[in-house]
């Protein structure tokens, strides 16, 4: 939800952190022991580019949670790499998917498409292919953010 910082309640903050960041911790907490035992594993967090750009006002709690997801990926990648486990973040940009458009106050699909150098909105398959890459041939990618935004934002 869009909320100015002063309107974010403790419950709002806790919800955003729990939904975005704590869920990453809970999942890793349960799967990492088996990954370490096998000496192989892939942890992939799917974040959002607002955690890198901060481009939408009135979403401080979401931006902080999304940025925290990538920080957690880096921490896991550093600590678990010696066990054959990589941890990365996939960061979708404008993707053609169902969402609550009320959270995006200005929506102009043509302008969005024109702002993307490849001149198209992404597809959910773009996200899936990045995850497949990380799980298969991307074994040397660790602690990174893979930005899937057609070049709209370049980091």
- Cα–Cα dist 140/112, whole Å: 33
- Cα–Cα dist 95/127, whole Å: 9
Query: What is the CB neighbour count within 10 angstroms for residue 92?
Result: 19
Smallest Cα–Cα separation from 69: which of 29, 6, 18? 18
> In a 3-state reduction of DSSP, which class is residue 92?
strand
Catalytic residue among 61, 104, 129, 133: 61
Sequence-distant (≥ 6) Cβ neighbours of residue 155 within 8 angstroms:
52, 145, 147
> In a 3-state reduction of DSSP, which class is residue 147?
strand
Is residue 153 annotated as a catalytic residue, yes or no?
A: no
Smallest Cα–Cα separation from 43: which of 126, 123, 138? 138
Q: Which residues form the catalytic set?
A: 61
């Amino acid at each position: 939800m869009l909320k100015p910082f002063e309107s974010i309640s403790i419950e709002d903050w806790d919800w955003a952190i729990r939904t975005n960041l704590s869920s990453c911790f809970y999942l890793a907490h349960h799967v990492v022991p088996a990954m370490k035992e096998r000496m192989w594993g892939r942890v992939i967090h799917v974040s959002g580019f607002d955690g890198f750009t901060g481009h939408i006002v009135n979403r401080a709690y979401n931006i902080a949670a999304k940025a925290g997801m990538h920080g957690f990926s880096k921490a896991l990648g550093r600590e678990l790499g010696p066990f054959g486990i990589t941890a990365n973040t996939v960061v979708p940009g404008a993707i053609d998917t169902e969402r609550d458009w009320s959270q995006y106050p200005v929506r102009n699909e043509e302008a969005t498409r024109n702002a993307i150098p490849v001149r198209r909105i992404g597809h959910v398959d773009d996200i899936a292919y990045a995850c497949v890459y990380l799980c298969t041939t991307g074994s040397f990618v660790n602690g990174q953010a893979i930005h899937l935004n057609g070049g709209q934002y370049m980091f």
